[in-house]
Amino acid sequence: MGKTQVKPGKGHIVVIDDDPYILLSIKMLLEAHVDSVTCLHSPDLLPETLAARQIDVLILDMNYSAGSNEGIEGLHWIKQLHHLDPSISIVALTAYGEIDLAVKAVRAGAIEFVSKPWQNDKLLTTVLAAWKLNYHRRKSDRWQATFARNADPDPIDQIIGSSAPMKEVFSMIRKVGPTDANVLILGENGTGKELVAQAIHGLSRRREEACVSVDLGALSAGLFESELFGHVKGAFTDAKADRMGKMEAANGGTLFLDEIGNLALAHQSKLLRALQERKISRVGSSRVIDLDLRLISATNASISSMVSGGQFREDLFYRINTIEIVIPPLRDRREDIGLLARHFLGRYARKYHRPELSLGDELIQRLMRYPWPGNVRELQHAMERAVIMATQDRLSPTDFFFLEQEVPDSPAGTLNLEELEAWAIRTALVKHGGNVSQAARELGITRGAMYRRMEKYGL
């Protein structure tokens, strides 16, 4: 079976084939990697099986009549399943050389095909990718059902804020959400760019499909093509099995590229080509995959300055920002701080079983005066820490160590470089009211270096 290792817990798989040897072989291959495998000798048993339990992935042989290679029965059941349960991911089994039939199966609704005789790694990887797609579909369905149960099924309700700057953001989301326009979201670290992306997806015609996220800031240069485009087994040294890329996984839905400003110029050209041609190929494969996805990108960098400085391609910049949404930092929407603090208090009081905790008006006023250089993420972490460490029922400024002083005292008596650096970073941020650019300029470092240190020290 090769060296493919997969943790258990990958759904319920149904295999249909009239050859008992094939059923046994696939069952033995898959049962160590999935929750359960059900084998059927005829597709006529599908409705009964589907009524009894949820099917995540169906492996379907295309031919059942003796001497038939046209796949009429298989195509019929693929189409039927779109009416019975459209979220099921279907993998078609075809004999070697039946490429035309395989293509017909994919056009009818199968997500992939595997030729007999198959390679175990290829079949296993295909099934797990099919399960992943099914998982995203069902997750999206549950998300939609949750909103359907509410009086006001509005994805924007997931974003906390009532200030004038946030109302402008909400207005932009409502305008752009139902369209298919590419969106560029700008904002400092911790402002909630991914939440805005999810709200846009939730208002779009693609909301029933997956919204696939890629953190380009955490992606090494060597993994870019494999992560976005996928690869086939043997494409490079560590390619032990076929792998679906994030762009292929987002097909039909939305692709969210976070921290796109970190993308190297060489990779920018490859991304631009894929977006222009609406086609990709997995690394090591000549098979072309058509793309139908919506792109949402985000960055904390001044991307227009990067274009002017030759660090970001101008043609890619215009491709990704049909619409531009700027999320204000928390210091520019101080009236939302009380709402956010109470929201996070409720969340963590439930999580840590502290229902007696409350916030006083004096504490809210102190929180509103603090510049919050780490924005909403910093406030969230501060509230979680306060809930865990609180010794009284009513939270006070003493539960937030950074509120005890306007400018942090120098860590006297220490020569520890990390402590001195953390003090310098926090002091500069407080001095400049949370303005990262000004604080970085005073410290003599770049904005990117400043953000990395803020993340390091939890600011």
Please provide the DSSP assignment of 108-137 as one string.
HT-SEEEEESPPHHHHHHHHHHHHHHHHHH
CATH class held by domain 12-142: alpha beta
One CATH from 1.10.1060.10, 3.40.50.720, 1.10.8.60, 3.20.20.140 for 331-404: 1.10.8.60
List, in sequence order, the alpha helices (H) in 155-264: 164-176, 193-202, 224-229, 246-249
Give pTM, 2 decimals. Answer: 0.59
- The residues of the chain that CATH labels 3.40.50.300 are 156-326
State the DSSP string of 83-114.
HH-TT-EEEEEEETT-HHHHHHHHHHT-SEEE
- The residues of the chain that CATH labels 3.40.50.2300 are 12-142
CB 331 within 8 A of CB 371: yes
Distance CA 315, CA 418 (A): 41
- Which pLDDT tens digit goes with each residue over 32-68? 888 889 999 888 888 888 877 788 899 998 887 655 6
Pairing of strands 279-281, 288-290: antiparallel
Question: Taking CA 317 as the corner, what is the angle to CA 313 and CA 319, rounded to the nearest 5 degrees?
Answer: 115
Give the side-chain half-sphere CA count within 13 A for 272. Answer: 16
CB 301 within 8 A of CB 436: no
Nearest to 228 by CA among 200, 250, 210: 250
Cis peptide before 117 (omega within 30 of 0): yes
- The residues of the chain that CATH labels 1.10.10 are 417-456
- The residues of the chain that CATH labels 1.10.8.60 are 331-404
**Is CATH 3.90.550.10 what the domain over 156-326 is classified as, yes or no?**
no
E strand segments, 201-278? 211-215, 230-231, 243-244, 254-258
Nearest to 101 by CA among 48, 60, 152, 148: 60
417-456 has which fold? Answer: Arc Repressor Mutant, subunit A (1.10.10)
Task: Please report, in tens digits, the pLDDT of each residue of the chain (459 residues total).
Answer: 343 443 445 688 999 998 888 899 999 888 888 888 999 988 888 888 887 778 889 999 888 765 566 778 888 888 888 777 777 888 888 876 677 787 788 877 888 888 888 888 888 888 888 888 777 766 666 555 554 444 446 888 889 999 999 999 999 999 999 999 999 999 998 999 999 999 999 999 999 898 999 988 877 777 888 889 999 888 888 778 888 889 999 999 999 999 999 999 999 999 999 999 999 999 999 999 999 999 999 999 999 999 999 999 999 999 999 999 999 999 999 999 999 999 999 999 999 999 999 998 889 999 998 889 889 999 999 999 999 988 899 998 888 877 654 444 555 555 567 777 887 888 887 777 677 777 888 788 887 788 888 877 767
- Which pLDDT tens digit goes with each residue over 78-112? 888 877 777 788 888 887 667 778 778 887 788 88
